[in-house]
Amino acid sequence: ILGTFHFDDAGLDGYKPKHRLDLLSSRRQQEVAALLDSLARFRPNKIAVEWRSEQQAALDAEFARYLAGSEGSVGPNEIYQLGFRLARRLGHKRIHAVDARERPEFKIVHTTEQLIQQAGSLGQDDLIERGTKWAQWYEDLDRWEDELKTKQSLLEHLRLKNSPEYIRHSLSRYLVAEFEVGGGADFTGADWRTARYNRNLRIFSNLLRVRTA
């Protein structure tokens, strides 16, 4: 599994990138080519991308149009720059859509302010203080990584993002501070994170299905 940042970020995540890369520039296209060379040596026999699984037919049509066109006919999105181009190089006839929505009842919407209020009502003032510090720590990490991608090659940056240490830091943000809000029969914090993990598990389920597709 290759973890990437969004090459053409739509600003849908909590942190809004301040630095954008021109993936279609000559320099970055050379870096994409080097990255594709590395991935091609792995020789994956199937490629899956973050595309809604119920829209597989649309992905099939999009990939067919790409195969019928030129190598440079795709935009900067990582699905195209990595998924489509690698599949074409390896002679794949299909790319697999594995993205999923969380179950609707798991999509519990709380703002940070609401969680702070809930923690305060439960007497978790120490958690509020700790949570503020953790939030700042991860905001600093996001800013650092956002700027760093402008200084590293794509290969260097994706090596960092896929390193065990970085993955631990990235995932641990969901298990501190807000996650702990609650007590007794109150699981406000854990429930707030349920939607994300449900989506991740559904995507993993789709990946397992790809094995026999």
pLDDT tens-place string over residues 96-109: 999 999 998 887 77
- In angstroms, the CA 112 to CA 55 distance is 33
pTM above 0.95, yes or no: no
Give the DSSP per-residue string, 88-140.
Answer: HHHT-S--EEEE-PPPGGG-----HHHHHHHHHHTT-HHHHHHHHHHHHHHHH
156-193 residue pLDDT tens: 999 999 999 999 998 898 888 888 999 889 999 999 88
Record the tokens describing residue 160, joined without a space.
């960092």
Q: Which pLDDT belongs to residue 147?
A: 96
Q: Which pLDDT belongs to residue 197?
A: 87
Q: Which pLDDT belongs to residue 40?
A: 97
Q: Which pLDDT belongs to residue 73?
A: 77
Query: What number of other Cβ atoms are within 10 A of residue 158's Cβ?
Result: 22
44 CB-side CA count, 13 A: 26
Question: Is the model more confident about 70 or about 164?
Answer: 164
Please, are residues 9 and 21 in contact by the beta-carbon 8 Å criterion? no
Query: Residue 211: is its pLDDT beyond 80?
Result: yes
